[in-house]
Amino acid sequence: LVTVVMKRLLLFMKIIKYFIFFVGLTLAVTTNLSAHPNGRGSGSKVLSKDKMSNFPGNTLTSMTIELKPGEVSSPHRHAGFLFVYVLEGEVLSQLGDGPVTLYKAGESWVETPQILHGVAESASKSKSAYILVVFVGPDDEPLTTRVE
């Protein structure tokens, strides 16, 4: 089981490396977040969603998410692996029983399947934060499950 998880994590990280380069290049060419801080609207925008032929039974989904000041995400879990990259602003995040961590633009973190994501919010009281999230998870499960 550990070997299977490690193989999936290594494959996931390899995919993410190339995907982030492509998405970052695309965003740099087509979007100026600072010039249009409210241009995205609130919530999330799916950038791509593709079944993975080299990883049967799994889908790679990428999206951008706006974390507005004062809005706090409810605790949740994800069925698959996530790579999260802060595009703009600062984000407070807590995984499992770990500390609440501040991530700034250009920084990233990885979430393992089913870990509790207890805190996800903009660190600023006046500015939104924007993140790029890349999910690799089972085809037949929702990306996010809220925890009561």
What pLDDT tens digit does each residue of the chain (148 aa) get? Answer: 667 777 777 777 666 665 555 555 444 433 433 333 333 335 889 999 999 998 899 999 999 999 999 888 889 999 999 999 999 999 999 999 999 999 999 999 999 999 999 899 999 999 999 999 999 999 989 888 898 8
For residue 39, the model assigns a pLDDT of 34
For residue 37, the model assigns a pLDDT of 35
Burial (0-12, 13-18, 19+ Cβ within 10 Å), 9:
middle
- Can you tell me whether residue 32 is helix, strand or coil? coil
For residue 67, the model assigns a pLDDT of 93
How far, in Å, CA of 67 to CA of 90, rounded? 10
For residue 44, the model assigns a pLDDT of 85
Is residue 137 within 8 Å of 83, Cβ to Cβ? no
For residue 42, the model assigns a pLDDT of 54
For residue 69, the model assigns a pLDDT of 92
